[in-house]
Amino acid sequence: MPSTTRTFIAVSVPEALAARLRRLQQQLSGELPGVRLSVIPPFHVTLAFLGDVDHVDLADVCRAAAAEAANFGKFELKLEGLGVFPNAARPRVLWAGVTGPGLDTLCALQSALAGAAARLKYPTDGKPFHPHVTLGRFLPRRGADPAGERALTQALNRYKTWHAGPFPVTEAVTFASTQTPDGAAYAPLGRAPLAARKPGAPP
């Protein structure tokens, strides 16, 4: 049996907004045939990807996430807009954007969780944080695909004003990720509730 679990910490999207994301996926599936859509719940905003964590460390990871989250009050985010990583000419990931009044708090929470993971010897990749919800991944292209790039650019323009509305963020969740034939499946390992900020705690 494996002695590690692929692990990440994230904010889950509530079901009411997840239903709107699934409708968006259905609309895009006819316009972007080269995308393999994410079908296994929950939709989420990844804050810290730890990779393969030793089983003996999982409880420490969950405790550290809970300790960091307790320093932050609850906040609100919005889902709006459509984008790709890295760009329309070489797309790999299709995503819905994350905005809203709580964006600065989300970024501070992400930094705190990444720092806690690094102290446990599970550093994140160090790339700039770009909050998003993954909708799907593009199948590898063979050579240039002007028609595909044109269709993608048109879709990005068409859905740039798409929005699913606001949602409250009340906790972060440590997830296990397991690969299946349909993609990654997620199981919660620990919950990290947000609370009123403690006196003297970092913003």
Give domain status of residue 133, yes or no.
Answer: yes
Any catalytic annotation for residue 130? no
Output the furthest CA–CA distance in the chain (Å, rounded): 56
pLDDT of the residue at 1: 58
Report the DSSP beta bridge partners of residue 179: 184
Tokens of 136: 């799907």
Residue 113 near residue 172, CB atoms below 8 Å: yes
Closest of 180, 174, 151 to residue 46, by C-alpha: 174
Give domain status of residue 199, yes or no.
Answer: no
Give domain status of residue 108, yes or no.
Answer: yes
Give domain status of residue 88, yes or no.
Answer: no
CATH code, domain carrying 40: 3.90.1140.10
Write out the chain's pLDDT in tens, 203 residues.
579 999 999 999 999 999 999 999 999 998 998 899 998 999 999 999 999 999 999 999 999 999 999 999 999 999 999 999 999 889 999 999 999 999 999 999 999 999 999 999 999 998 999 999 999 999 887 667 888 889 999 999 999 999 999 999 999 999 999 988 878 899 999 999 998 654 444 44
Domain hosting 72: range is 4-80+95-138+163-193
DSSP label at residue 90: S
Residue 96 near residue 133, CB atoms below 8 Å: yes
Any catalytic annotation for residue 44? yes
137/161 Cα distance (integer angstroms): 21
Give domain status of residue 43, yes or no.
Answer: yes
Q: Is 89 helix (H, G, I), strand (E, B) or coil?
A: coil
104/15 Cα distance (integer angstroms): 24
pLDDT of the residue at 144: 73
Give domain status of residue 85, yes or no.
Answer: no
Sheet containing 44-54: give its strands across: 44-54, 4-12, 171-180, 183-193
End-to-end CA distance of the chain: 42
**In sequence order, which residues have a C-beta less than 8 Å from that of residue 167 and are 6 or more positions away?**
13, 14, 16, 17, 76, 77, 78, 79
The number of domains in the chain is 1
Give domain status of residue 143, yes or no.
Answer: no
Give domain status of residue 157, yes or no.
Answer: no
pLDDT of the residue at 180: 86
Residue 65 near residue 57, CB atoms below 8 Å: no
- Alpha helices of 56-99 — where are they, by DSSP H? 58-69
pLDDT of the residue at 201: 47
